[in-house]
Structure 1
Amino acid sequence: MKTTPFNALILALSIIVTSLILSNAFQNRNKAQNTISVTGLGTKDFVSDLIVWSGSFSKKDLDLKSAYANLDKDRESIRQYLISKGIQDDQIIFSAVNISKEFDNVYGDNGMKIRSTFTGYSLSQNVQIESKEVDKVEGISRRVSELINKGVEFYSNSPEYYYTKLKELKIEMIAEATKDANMRAKKIAENSESKIGDLKKADMGVFQIVAQNSSEEFSWGGSFNTASKRKTANITVRLQYETE
């Protein structure tokens, strides 16, 4: 096939374009390789400023009306007890009453029920307190046996502890983790006789809250401890820099 000036021009342009593409790909590959990836840690100890404590009480009677009356009496005793300990009335939240019929079942050797005897109505109710007076409510939860001595069948749950300024705390920790990661990147670059350039990528890790001075394990999905008043929060930030 005879080569014309036009065909020669097209061939030359093709070679030039191909060379540029390959050169650019090579430069980008080297550019991607000339990076530093580091992980910085931000950690803060804090004390919970909100407590949620709850408990339950119950009564049982063959007569539903009597069971209600006895439960009302216990509810008022609990209310007055908590108020006497310094809890505001509007902080005391009672749930709806749960009602169930209870039976005493007798079974034969073949596992079949022989008879069922009604033993009464069982009524139960929950009470919850949410307060920023953490120490006060915590103390009450530990002395709740005083209610039992008053004839109230009260079951106390362990208090749950929260922090109302998590948003501000998290921002502080991200800043700390970013600063830590930046210092690590600079140190790595210095040891390799280079400098860090532009920040190419930043990813935030999982936010964790665990009990202070504990062996509580971290979770991939993030842990959020509510059982301890004193907590430690952790967060990681991963940065990727170009190097010069």
Structure 2
Amino acid sequence: MDKSKSIAALILGGLISFGIITFGVTTSNAVIDMKALERTVTVKGLAEREVKANIAIWPIQFIQVDNDLTALYQTAQEKTERVVEFLNHQGFHRSEITLSLPSIEDRQAQGYVNPNVRFRYAAKVTVSVYTEQVDLLLATRTRIIELAKDGIAITTQNYDGRTEFLFTKLNEIKPQMVQLATQNGRQVAEKFAKDSESKLGKIKRASQGQFSINDRDSNTPHMKRVRVVSTLTYYLKD
């Protein structure tokens, strides 16, 4: 009986040892596989595209002066109508033109009279054009000097009088740009994998950066450069 129990104990012990060894080998392989999965490379993919603005905002400003407030208002109104007429003649619709209330300055309101100032009142008038006809606006700006024949001197130096160009069709080009950024990033990752004698695996993580829209340069603000950078993490394998 004792002999049978000893044999059974030996068999059981052998099975337990075999199981522990097998479990250890399996666990070891799993750890190796996990470490292999931890081998990654993180790259950035860039996509840039040059586009033309599809919206233009053009504030046309002039200043009218007079010592008589009533005469000032009448003259400013007549010249405003002339500016609108000029824009209509160039091809802009009335719906694209906005008139702002004149900003009138009384140069003697503070009780101090500058002897070099000939006129007491100055009215700043702004006629704004908001249009999708960007090419027409660019052409019209070169002909705005024609208003000088009517005694209208357009102000161009003020910061708030600069023309603004916008690109509002980003959603139309987003998918293609994200795809290009991803392809660019993958090319960089493949080059890294080749140099490190590895193979590129699947994407572990990807994040899309923010899109930026900037003027191409200061001389052509109607041309925009759209840019996006995507960050991609790939698995590496042997």
TM-score of the aligned structures, taking structure 1 as reference length:
0.71
Q: How many residues matched?
A: 203
Q: Is the 8 A contact 1:48 1:163 kept in 2?
A: yes
Correspondences of 1:1-244 after superposition (within 5 Å): 30=35, 34-103=39-108, 116-117=112-113, 119-156=119-156, 157-212=161-216, 228-244=221-237
Offset, 1:211 = 4.2
Offset, 1:206 = 4.3
TM-score of the aligned structures, taking structure 2 as reference length:
0.73
- After TM superposition, the structure 1 stretch with the greater mean CA deviation from structure 2, 196-205 or 131-140, is 196-205
Offset, 1:33 = 5.1
Show structure 2 runs of 5+ residues with no match.
Answer: 1-23
Offset, 1:57 = 1.7
Give 2:52's aligned amino acid: V
State the identity as a percent. Answer: 25
Q: Is the 8 A contact 1:138 1:159 kept in 2?
A: no
The one-character-per-residue Cα deviations of 1:40-74 (angstroms, maximum 9, x if unpaired) are: 11111222222221121222222222211111111
The one-character-per-residue Cα deviations of 1:52-97 (angstroms, maximum 9, x if unpaired) are: 2112122222222221111111111111111111111111111122
Between the aligned partners of 2:224 and 2:162, the Cα distance in structure 1 is: 16
Question: In angstroms, what is the RMSD of aligned CA positions?
Answer: 3.0
SS of the residue 2:141 aligns to:
helix
Give 1:160's aligned amino acid: E
Between the aligned partners of 1:194 and 1:93, the Cα distance in structure 2 is: 63
Offset, 1:133 = 1.6
SS of the residue 1:44 aligns to:
strand
Higher share of residues assigned strand: 1
SS of the residue 1:103 aligns to:
coil
Distance 1:102 1:38, change over 3 A: same
Q: Is the 8 A contact 1:141 1:159 kept in 2?
A: no
